[in-house]
Amino acid sequence: MKSYLNSKGQMFEGYEIIIGVIMGLLMAVIIVSAINYFAGAQQEISHKQLTEGFANALQNVLSNDTIQEYCVTIITPEERQKCESKLVVEKALKLDPAVYTGKSLSAAFPEIQPECIDFRFPVNSTYAGLNMNMLKINKLVKTNVYFACIAGYPTTQNCPVYCIISMGEIPVFTTQ
């Protein structure tokens, strides 16, 4: 029996496979690039929300809608709830590894001195701090961030405005 297919048509099969592989790799690169782009955009949004949350907490102090002095020594659950209602909360922020300092935040907000910004964070491998004015995030974290600013808070630095930025935990006010 005579075959009507010649060998020239079969030689093209190898090229079809190569073209298919190249197209598959091209689609994979496009998908991975899109994932990386959107992850980076989400982190930028989180950093913007972090700054906006701090700005809102400062604005509360400037507009006298601030945490009252009795929040320093909370006695009853009702007082605690009233204090928490004045907190600014940014939920589910994705923060990448970085170092945050009171100095870097106060540069954008001249209303507050760098030593008057404290960071509070749980003790675990995600967070590290040499002092309360510096926070180092060691790995990507998704957390709620609480901001609280109070005017006339009794600190050793004599701060006209004192702010706490707390990672994942509602801040507890204590005299220093």
57-113 pLDDT, tens per residue? 888 777 765 555 555 555 566 766 666 667 788 888 888 888 888 888 888 888 788
Structural domain harbouring 143: 32-167
Tell me, what's the pLDDT at 32? 92
Q: Is residue 58 part of a domain?
A: yes
pLDDT in tens, 17-28: 899 999 999 999
Q: Is residue 17 part of a domain?
A: no
What is the C-alpha separation between 50 and 34, in angstroms, rounded? 24
More confident residue, 16 or 26: 26
Contact between 113 and 171 (Cβ < 8 Å): no
Closest CA to 97 of 40, 139, 39: 139
As a whole-number percent, the residues of the chain with pLDDT over 90 amount to 9
Q: Is the pLDDT of residue 36 over 90?
A: no
Tell me, what's the pLDDT at 14? 77
Neighbours of 43 (CB within 10 A): 16
What is the C-alpha separation between 165 and 1, in angstroms, rounded? 85
What residues are paired with 163 via a beta bridge?
117, 149
Q: Is residue 126 part of a domain?
A: yes
Tell me, what's the pLDDT at 49? 84
More confident residue, 168 or 2: 168
Q: Is the pLDDT of residue 176 over 50?
A: no
Number of domains in the chain: 1
Q: C-alpha angle with apex 24: 19 to 26, nearest 5 degrees? A: 95
Closest CA to 149 of 127, 120, 118, 174: 118
Query: What's the average model confidence in pLDDT over 157-173?
Result: 80
For all residues of the chain together, what is the average pLDDT? 78
What is the C-alpha separation between 133 and 126, in angstroms, rounded? 17
Closest CA to 164 of 79, 82, 84, 75: 84
Rounded CA Rg of the chain: 27
Q: Is residue 56 part of a domain?
A: yes
pLDDT band of 114, cuts 50, 70, 90: confident
Tell me, what's the pLDDT at 71? 57
Contact between 131 and 154 (Cβ < 8 Å): no
More confident residue, 55 or 12: 55
Q: Is the pLDDT of residue 132 over 60?
A: yes
Q: Is residue 139 part of a domain?
A: yes
Q: Is residue 61 part of a domain?
A: yes
Q: Is residue 3 part of a domain?
A: no
- Give the CB-side neighbour count of residue 22, counting CA atoms within 13 A: 6
Query: What's the average model confidence in pLDDT over 51-61?
Result: 84
Q: Is residue 38 part of a domain?
A: yes
